[in-house]
Chain A
Amino acid sequence: MSFFKKLKEKFSGDETKQETQSDKYKEGLSKTRSSFSGKINDLVARYRKVDEDFFEDLEEILISADVGVATVMDLIDELKMEVKRRNIKDSKEVKEVISEKLVDIYYGEEAEDVEQLNLNQNGLSVILFVGVNGVGKTTTIGKMAHQLKEEGKKVVMAAGDTFRAGAIEQLDVWGERVGVEVIKHNAGSDPAAVIFDGIQAARSRGADVLLCDTAGRLQNKVNLMNELSKVKKVISREIPEAPHEVLLVLDATTGQNAMSQAKTFSEATDVSGIVLTKLDGTAKGGIVLAIRNEMSIPVKYVGLGEKVTDLQAFDAHAFVYGLFADMMEEDTP
C-alpha cells in the first residue's frame, strides 16, 4: 500500500480522537507545513524531469529544515537509487518516494508505538527532564503536570534546578498554576538531595508521577554531566526501575548541535525520549529525524507554545501528515 493511502486510511478512520489530534498538528505545524511541502510542491512544479538540479534543490529544502547534512545525503542517495530502480522520470511520482523515505527514516525497524510514555501503572513513576540551557525543560514540566493531572493522576514536581537564578520560583509558579505540589530546597543546594526528597514526598503522598526538573547545562561540561548522572543514580537507588523516563528537551531552533546533545546526554543519563519544543516558531526541528536515524531515540512530545495546554503527544504519522498535508490533499481526486 502506498504511503499516502496508508495515511489517508489512518486519518479518515472513525476514530475522532485521532482526527482532532491531527488537526491540532496541522494547526501547530501550519508554518512548517506550508513552507516545507510548499517548497516540495514548488520543486515538483518547476522540474518536470528528475535530474541533478532537482535533487540539488531537494537537498536544500531538507537542509534548510535542519535535517542534517549526513542524513540528507543518505536520503538523496537512496532516492536516486529508488528513482533509477523504479525508472521514475516524472517529478510528480518522486514526491511519494520522498515521503516514504522520510517515514522510513523515522521508524526504521521499530514498532510504531514508541511514542508512548512508559509509566508504572501501579505505583510511582519518576520522569527526569534534562537538556541544555533555555530549551524549555521547566515549561514542559508545568505543561505535562497539567496534562497528567487532567488524566486523573496525582503529580508531584521536584525543583532540581538549584543553580539558575529564579528557577525554583519559576517551577513554583507553575505548581500554583496547575495545582501541583512542588518539593524544593534552597537555591544552591544539592540537586540530588532535592530529587531524593521529591521521591520520599511523592511516596508518602501516594503520588502517581514525580516530575524532576534539572538545571540546564551544556553537554561539554563534564562536571555538570557527572552531576546529572549522580541525580539519576539517586533515583535508581530509591526505585530500581526508575527513572521510568529520561526526557531530553530539545529546542526546535537548534541546529546540528542537537545531535551532540542527544549523544552526550544519552551517555550520561540514558535518554529514553525527546520533547521537541518551540515548534510554534518557524524552525522545523528536522534534526530529530537524524537523531532518530542514528540513535533511535523517539520524540515523545512536542511543545507548540507557552500556554499550559501547548504540549502535544508526538505522533509521527500526524507529524508527517502535517508536513505533507498539502501534497496529500492534492492527491485526493
Chain B
Amino acid sequence: MAFEGLADRLQGTIQRIKGKGKVTEQDVKEMTREVRLALLEADVNFKVVKDFVKRIRERAIGQEVMESLTPGQQVIKVVRDELTELMGGEQSKIAVADRPPTVIMMVGLQGAGKTTTTGKLANLLRKKYNRNPMLVAADVYRPAAINQLETLGKQLNMPVFSLGTEANPVDIANQAIEKAKEDHQDYVIIDTAGRLHVDNDLMDELQQIKANVQPDEIFLVVDAMTGQDAVNVAESFNEQLEVSGVVLTKLDGDTRGGAALSIKAVTDKPIKFAGMGEKLDELEAFHPERMASRILGMGDVLSLIEKAQDTVDENKAKELEEKMRSATFTFDDFLEQMGQVRNMGPLEDIIGMLPGANKMKGLKNVQFDEKQLSHVEAIIQSMTKQERQDPSIMNASRKKRIAKGSGRNVSEVNRLLKQFEEMKKMMKQMSNMPKGKKGKGMKFPFM
C-alpha cells in the first residue's frame, strides 16, 4: 500500500506520549506536522492544507486534546470532524426546471470522464427519477467522441442529438434544446469537449453555450487522481462558468482523492456524484464523510459494509455475526467467508476499504491476489476438522504436516495462523462497539 494513513502516522508520537503520560505543545506540534504530511500525500492542495492545519493546531492546543487521556485519537477525531465539516453535507439532488427540458452541461479537462458520466447521469435520471433524458454530442473536436456518445445512447436505448463534427457546438446545443421540446424529452445533457481551463477560445465557447441554453446545472467533471493543480482547474472553470456542482470520477481507483477537498475549499460547490466504475450504473451519490475518512486513510468502512450487504448471503452473514460476537469464529467459517469475499470483486478494492489494513501486522505484507488466496485455501483445507475448529492445538508437527499437505512451507502456515488471530482480535474489538455506531447492518465478518 502506497501511503500511510493518518492513524499510522500518529503512532510514533502516541507511543511516546503514552510513556510520559502528559501532552506538551511540542507533541501537538509534531502531531499537526503529521496531519500536514498525510494530507499532502493525499494530494490536498498545499494552500488548503495550510489553512486546515492552522485550524487543527488551534483546536488541538486547546484543552480538548492536551487534557485528553487519548490525545492521539483525539487529534484524529478533531481532524476528521473538521474535514467532514469542510466537505459539507450530502447533496446529490439534480435541478428540475420549471418548464422542461431541464438542461445540464458537462464541462471539464480532457480525459476527466465527461462522456461516460453523461451516460451514467442519464441512466440515473431514468432509473431513479423516471425521466426521459436526451444526450447531446457537442464534442466536435476529439476523434470519435460523437461515436462514443452514440454508442452509450444505444446501450441505454436513449436518443442522442448530433450534427456531426462540422457544426458549431453552440448551434448544436441550441438545436438540441428545440428538438428535446418537440420530442418531450424532459432532460437534456450536453457533453462538451474536454479543454484546458487556460484555453481562452474554448472557454469562450463554453460561455457562449451557457448564455444560449441557460443550463439549470453545470457539472464540472474532475478526475479523482488530480494532484495540486485541481485548485487551478476548479477555480478557473468556476470563475468562468459558475458551475453548480462537481462530479468526481474514477473513485474506484486507489487514489486518496485529496483533490475533492481542494475543489470544495476553493469553489465551495457541492461534490454531488462519484464515478465508481466504467459501467453505466456505476455513478453514486457522493458521501462527504466517507471521503474525509478516505483522504485520511482510515478506510472506507461504510462503502465496504454496503458492498458486503449487496453480496453476502443474509442468513449466513447473520450466523457469522453471531459467531463473531461469541468469538467462536473458526477456520471453517474463514474458508466460507473467503468464498463470499471473492464474489465481492477484486480483493484489493476490499482490503483498501478496510480501516487499519495498513497497520495490522499480519495483513500488511500479504499480497492480496488470487494466487495468495488459493494458497490460504490450500493450507486451511489441509487442516483436520479439529484444527480448523480450534487452532490453539496447533503444534510444530501439525504445522509441518499441514505445510506438506498444502505444498506451502511452515512459515506460511505460521503467518496464516497469526493473521487469523489478529483478525479474531479485531472482530472482538469491533463487536464490542455500541450498536448504534456500527450502522444498521454490520454484517461483514471481517469487522
Residues of A with Cβ closer than 8 Å to B?
Answer: 31, 60, 63-66, 69, 132-136, 142, 163-167, 169-170, 172-174, 177, 187, 218-223, 251, 253-260, 263, 278, 280-284, 287, 306
Contact = CB atoms under 8 A, between A and B. Distances in A.
B111 A220 contact: no
Interface stretch (B82-90, B177-185, B223-231): B223-231
- Interface size for chain B: under 10, 10 to 19, 20 to 34, or 35 or more residues? 35 or more
B210 interface: no
Contacts of B40: 63, 69
Given A218-B253, A219-B253, A281-B229, 14 more contacts: A66-B228, A132-B225, A165-B115, A220-B348, A222-B370, A251-B111, A255-B228, A256-B3, A257-B43, A258-B227, A278-B110, A284-B229, A306-B110, A306-B142
Interface string B123-147: 0000000000000000001111101
Greatest chain B CB density within 10 A among A164, A165, A306 is at: A165
Greatest chain A CB density within 10 A among B113, B143, B151 is at: B143
Nearest to B1: A260
B306 interface: no
B370 A136 contact: no
Nearest to A264: B254
Nearest to B222: A253
A255 B258 contact: yes
Greatest chain A CB density within 10 A among B227, B256, B348 is at: B227
Given A219-B253, A221-B346, A287 B227 contact: yes
Given A220-B348, A222-B369, A166 B145 contact: yes
B109 A166 contact: no
A165 B109 contact: no
Given A259-B2, A260-B254, A306-B141, A283 B227 contact: yes
B223 A164 contact: no
A257 B369 contact: no
Contact of A173 (B2, B111, B143, B198): B143
A64 B143 contact: no
B227 A220 contact: no
Interface in B20-43: 37, 40-43
B370 A257 contact: no
A169 B40 CA distance: 40
Greatest chain A CB density within 10 A among B110, B152, B229, B346 is at: B229
26 contacts: A60-B46, A63-B40, A64-B46, A66-B229, A133-B278, A163-B278, A166-B145, A166-B149, A169-B143, A169-B148, A172-B144, A219-B254, A220-B254, A220-B352, A223-B346, A253-B109, A255-B43, A255-B225, A255-B227, A256-B42, A258-B227, A260-B254, A260-B255, A281-B109, A281-B198, A282-B197
B148 A218 contact: no
B252 A31 contact: no
Contact of A164 (B148, B196, B250, B369): B148
Contacts of A165: 115, 147-149, 151-152, 155
B141 A169 contact: no
Given A63-B46, A254-B227, A259-B2, A282 B147 contact: no
State the 8 A-B residue pairs at the shortest beta-carbon distance, nearest first.
A255-B227, A134-B111, A166-B148, A173-B143, A255-B43, A165-B151, A169-B144, A170-B144
Interface in B246-268: 250, 252-256, 258-259
Interface of B: 2-3, 37, 40-43, 45-46, 109-113, 115, 141-145, 147-152, 155, 196-198, 223, 225-230, 232-233, 250, 252-256, 258-259, 278, 346-349, 352, 369-370
A66 B349 CA distance: 25
B370 to A, nearest CB: 7
A281 B109 CA distance: 9
Contacts of B197: 281-282
Greatest chain A CB density within 10 A among B109, B226, B278 is at: B278
A169 B258 CA distance: 35
A94 B228 CA distance: 25
Contacts of A63: 40, 46, 228
Nearest to A142: B143
A60 B40 CA distance: 10
A166 B142 CA distance: 11
Contacts of A283: 227-229, 232
A260 B2 contact: yes
Contacts of A69: 37, 40-41
A177 B141 CA distance: 13
Given A134-B223, A220-B352, A64 B41 contact: no
A85 B89 CA distance: 52
A133 B111 contact: yes
B179 to A, nearest CB: 22
Contacts of B349: 220
A268 to B, nearest CB: 11
A218 B225 CA distance: 11
Given A219-B253, A220-B254, A257-B255, A65 B228 contact: yes
